[in-house]
Amino acid sequence: MSVRLTLLGLGLATLAACDSSGRGASAPTEAPPSPRAVEVPSAVAAEPAPVADATVAAPQVAPQAYPADAVERARRANSGRACQELVYKKGCAETRTGRVKVRLSLAATGKVETVEIVDNGVRRDPDVVEKCLKTKLPEWSFDPPDGAVPTVELELVFADKC
């Protein structure tokens, strides 16, 4: 009996099986097959790796700040709605003085949409002043932002003249 082994498509010599006496059976042996030539594909020029979307976005233009002169016009036009009447408590005997920094968000029409108290430095009854500002500042009107950042920061000064 003979067994032929093939490894990776290459032939190997025939192996002789042993008969019952332990001697090799007489089987014709084949000469080992001649080595086969292996074809190696020629190098193929690699295609360049795909590039992510190469569209160049237009440069972003930072929006301009809301104009200071428009803030001043609004301040003058709305001065009666700035809670300044709260400075005096019991005449000049007690006063609510200090500075309050507010941030206002404007609608496209210039109307105040939100009021945020950034810093309340009023020394007496700061919560009373804050409540008043949150009620009256939404009544202010500004010029429409027209492409400017629709956020304005104001510092309101509460000072007495006694």
In this model, does residue 32 exceed pLDDT 90? no
Is the pLDDT at 130 greater than 90? The verdict is yes
Instruction: Pick the more confident residue, 78 or 15.
Output: 78
pLDDT of residue 92: 84
Does the pLDDT of residue 98 top 80, yes or no? Answer: yes
Query: Could you give the CA distance from residue 88 to residue 83 in angstroms, rounded to a whole number?
Result: 11
Taking the CA atoms of residue 13, residue 18, residue 23 and residue 26 in that order, the dihedral angle to the nearest 10 degrees is -50
Place of tokens 């809670």: 83
70 Cβ neighbours under 8 A, 6+ residues apart: 142, 143
- 68 pLDDT more than 70: yes
pTM here is 0.60
How confident is the model at residue 162, as a pLDDT?
76
The closest alpha carbon to 87, from 37, 116, 126, 56, belongs to: 126
89 pLDDT tier (thresholds 50, 70, 90): confident
- Burial call 53-69: b when 16+ CB within 10 Å, e when fewer: eeeeeeeeeeeeebeee
Domains in the chain: ranges and CATH: 68-158 (3.30.1150)
The highest-confidence range among 3-12, 13-22, 37-46, 91-100, by mean pLDDT, is 91-100
Beta-ladder partners of 154: 102
